[in-house]
A and B are shown apart, each in its own frame.
Chain A
Amino acid sequence: MLRFTLSRLGMVVPTFLGIIFLSFALIRLVPGDAIEIRVGEHGLTPERHAQLMHEMGLDRPMYVQFFDYVNHVLHGDFGMSLVTRNPVLQEFGNLFPATLELSIAAMIFAVVIGLPAGVLAAVKRGSIIDHLVMGAALTGYSMPIFWWGLLLILTFSQQLGWTPVDGRIGVDYFFDSVTGFMTIDSWFSDDPFNAFVSSLSHLILPTIVLGTIPLAVIARMTRSAMLEVLGEDYIRTARAKGLSTFRIINVHALRNALIPVVTVIGLQVGTLMAGAILTEYVFAWPGVGSWLVNSITRRDYPSLQGGMLLIATIVIVVNLLVDLTYGLLNPRIRHKR
């Protein structure tokens, strides 16, 4: 296991360095004056310009600048936002819980519906249920989620008035952020139950939108994994022993079919992050996704640079953890060269 862990870590380090290099290059590739991009001011005098160049170390050789940047990043310094003048890491830290809460809710939604739907489709293979589930899954997989969000807002928020249009909680609730998760923090307010309901009603539509594609992927994957397992000899043995269909499907088949499904679930982190950008933008959800889009339109390049690096790092770390867990669970992967 140690050997496996080390080899996976060895593969991650160059990728991570590459991502740092990409974000280092990003701010240098943006057209425009290097100082104006970083300071956000225009019409600087040549003296001031030269002074800033020197202060920021931009007059040094490129490789020195790169090692300096790596040093800063490894010490948690991702620069300052041009709009708020706060450290990028602090901004990210404030907004990330919102994205995390939304992503977790979306993943729960996707698994809770996708897994049983996939199992049902596999068990009832070729039936109308199978066709319906797979048709719905393919539609979900093809869905432009930004439009899906608008449609849900139109139907449930504007025409039926069931859910709020945007934000995370009603404006009349005030409480300190403890965990950053509104559904948890709302319990610390003066009116816990109503605050919780408010936060939940804000969460529902974004969850459905962000969960749609993972849901479709999980349903399709579960179906094909189940079909493969259901054809195995040990399932026939179980049937021959006289076990109930329920037990065969849920204990014998599903547990074996879950291995590829769990991997797919783990690998959805990147999809979730990409989806979060669009979902948060549609629902004005104050997370890192909408923050990144806004930092492009505001030309806040240090924020974009830092945010990109942080999100990529999170995706790399989660994928590494999934990989290691998989190796832990499945010795065949661990010992494969």
Chain B
Amino acid sequence: MSNTVNATTSTPNAPAPANPTPITPTPVNQVLSPSREVWLSMRTNRGAMLGLIFILLLIFCAIFADIISPHGYAEQFRDNVLQPPAWQDGGSWAFPLGTDSVGRDMLSRLIYGTRLSLLIGVIVVTLSLAMGIGFGLLSGFFRGAPEISIMRLMDIILAMPSLLLSLVIVAILGPGLINAMIAVAVTYVPHYARLTRAAVMSELSKDYVTASRVSGAGTLRLMFDVVLPNCLAPLIVQATLSFSTAILDAAALGFLGLGAQPPTPEWGTMLADARQFLEAAPWVVTFPGLAILVTVLAFNLMGDGLRDALDPKLKR
């Protein structure tokens, strides 16, 4: 039912695959699935591919952290406190990126940190996406009082600087990783709610919705089965982009001492611990921040690439 609006694009001038057997009749009007079309567009975007490769690497690190990290993330080597990275004087390859103030291996902590960062991204995005889609669908389908009250609530959340709102929520719930994730997720809900509502409103006026309504589809079926699949493109882009801001915001809360608590190897929390050793041991500050920056950059590159691939207006 819903695929009536998915533009079925023909590819008359797609490059023919370099096939050694010459005469294989390929169908002239081969129909590309939407996901394949997006992939083809993404593949030409060098930045997006770079981001994707780095993200795959991160996922690999997160899954196999127990195997690839040289030491445990909380294991303390009291004889090797604040040891510099291997390539500096006094460093050794036993601790390639050096050790922190209680002798824990920096590299191992960073590798275990990928788990937390990806987990933060997934949970924050899922939470905010679920709430945002819910609010957006409700306000798009039920105009009038429900719409006004939901959108006003979203305005209130948007009026607060996001970090301030997260701080206030953490102040109420208490510091900790789970509470920090909830606090960050709440600040993203309005973006998803607005996107969903706008998409729902433009879809509702289309013929295919009327057709399924006439053929007897109930409101719930219209919401989730008919309209929602056609509103997903902007939501996917926003989700990728907020994956990166979620990691950034949760790290900021960790840095302020309100997110994950030590000895959790969350990158922002590691920075908060390391601050006092800024001059004596720059590496304990440099690497966790670099990890945050590169991860966020990778997700932003991929998000930008996805947006270009999914938004036909930007295609040239």
- Chain A interfacial positions (CB closer than 8 Å to B): 11, 14-15, 18-19, 22, 26, 29-31, 138-139, 141-144, 146-148, 150-151, 153-154, 158, 270-271, 273-275, 277-278, 281, 292-293, 296-297, 301, 304, 308, 311-312, 315-316, 319
Contacts and interface: CB of A to CB of B under 8 A. Distances in A.
A176 B166 CA distance: 36
A292 B271 contact: no
B114 interface: no
B171 A141 contact: no
A142 B293 contact: yes
A31 B163 CA distance: 21
Given A139-B297, A142-B293, A304 B168 contact: yes
A19 B156 contact: yes
Contacts of B275: 150
B155 A11 contact: yes
Contacts of B153: 18
Nearest to A308: B168
A-side interface mostly: helix
Given A147-B292, A293-B256, A274 B161 contact: yes
Nearest to A281: B256
B285 interface: yes
Given A147-B289, A270-B160, 17 more contacts: A14-B155, A15-B156, A19-B159, A19-B160, A31-B172, A138-B301, A139-B293, A142-B244, A148-B289, A150-B275, A151-B285, A274-B162, A296-B167, A296-B171, A304-B167, A304-B168, A312-B160
A26 B256 CA distance: 20
B159 A319 contact: yes
A227 B257 CA distance: 43
24 contacts: A18-B155, A19-B156, A19-B159, A22-B160, A22-B168, A26-B168, A26-B172, A142-B244, A142-B293, A144-B293, A147-B288, A147-B293, A150-B271, A151-B286, A270-B161, A274-B162, A277-B161, A278-B163, A278-B256, A281-B256, A293-B256, A296-B171, A301-B171, A316-B159
A147 B161 contact: no
A311 B278 contact: no
A319 B155 CA distance: 12
A315 B293 contact: no
B164 A277 contact: yes
Contact of A146 (B172, B255, B286, B296): B255
Contact of B292 (A144, A154, A293, A311): A144
Interface in B23-64: none
Contacts of A142: 244, 248, 293, 296-297, 300
B48 to A, nearest CB: 12
Given A138-B300, A301-B171, A308-B168, A143 B160 contact: no
A19 B164 CA distance: 12
B289 A150 contact: yes
Contacts of B132: none
Nearest to B256: A293
A30 B159 contact: no
B297 A293 contact: no
Contacts of A141: 300
Nearest to B249: A274
Contacts of B251: 144
Contact of B164 (A281, A311, A316, A319): A311
B210 to A, nearest CB: 25
B282 interface: yes
B206 interface: no
Nearest to B296: A142
A204 B268 CA distance: 24
**Most chain A beta-carbon neighbours within 10 Å: one of B168, B279, B289:** B168
B258 interface: yes
A26 B156 CA distance: 14
Given A139-B293, A147-B293, A273 B285 contact: no
Nearest to B149: A14
Contacts of A26: 168, 171-172
10 shortest A-B CB distances, which residue pairs? Answer: A147-B289, A274-B163, A18-B156, A274-B161, A142-B296, A273-B161, A142-B297, A270-B161, A144-B292, A29-B172
Given A144-B248, A147-B293, A277 B163 contact: yes
A141 B155 CA distance: 24
